Amino acid sequence: MQARLEIKRFPSMLVAVIFVLAATLLLGGTLGYVLKPATVVSVGHIVAAPASQPADLNANTDICVFINNHKGC
């Protein structure tokens, strides 16, 4: 019988593929963050005014009502 010397090589192709995948994910995430469209935020003010006010409204009249223990004016 003859003895054979087996040399196990370092899997450089596997390391190269993993490195390329990691670099692709990093580059894709960075470009996706940089090139994302700007978020448009529009701030508007809503003013609710009554259509008409009663003519006999004076300072002594309380126009507030209580709904579920909360005062709404």
Number of H helices, E strands in the chain: 1, 2
Is 59 among the domain residues? no
53 belongs to a structural domain: no
| CA separation for the pair 63, 54 (Å, rounded) | 11
Residue 64 lies in a domain: no
Question: Where does the pLDDT of residue 18 fall: very low under 50, low under 70, confident under 90, or very high at 90 and above?
Answer: very high
Q: Which domain holds residue 20?
A: 12-37
What pLDDT does 10 receive? 79
Residue 73 CB partners (closer than 8 Å, separation 6+): 63, 64
pTM of the model: 0.41
* pLDDT of amino acid 60: 60
Domain count, the chain: 1
Q: Quick check: is 66 in a domain?
A: no
Nearest to 73 by CA among 52, 64, 39, 23: 64
| Domain-located, residue 65 | no
**68 in a structural domain:** no
Query: For the segment 30-72, what is each residue's pLDDT rounded down to a tens digit?
Result: 998 888 876 766 667 777 777 665 555 555 666 777 777 778 7
In a domain, 70, yes or no: no
25 is a domain residue: yes
Q: Which residue has the higher pLDDT, 61 or 18?
A: 18
Q: Which residues contact 53 (CB under 8 A, 6 or more apart)?
A: none
